[in-house]
Amino acid sequence: MTAVTENDLKRLEDLIVSGQKAIESRLTAIESRLTNLENGQKAIENSLGEIKGILRP
């Protein structure tokens, strides 16, 4: 069986950290898109309220 070296452990740690950073970046992008969708939905709801107000004097 091959022995695990400090270099192997460091490479593994670097891979794990890189993967974690990639996941965090993707989650941040998803959160931003979700916020944009929510803001768009609120804008549509506000516009519908204005239209209803115009149609019902």
pLDDT for res 35: 99
CA distances from 44 to 9, 39, 49, 56 (A): 52, 9, 9, 18
Question: Whole-angstrom Cα distance, residue 28 to residue 12?
Answer: 24
Separation between Cα atoms, residue 57 and residue 54, nearest integer Å = 6
Strand, helix or coil for residue 5: coil
Block means of pLDDT (10 residues each) for the chain, 57 residues, are 92 99 99 99 97 87
Q: What is the pTM of this model?
A: 0.71
| Residue 45: predicted pLDDT | 97
What pLDDT score does 2 carry?
85
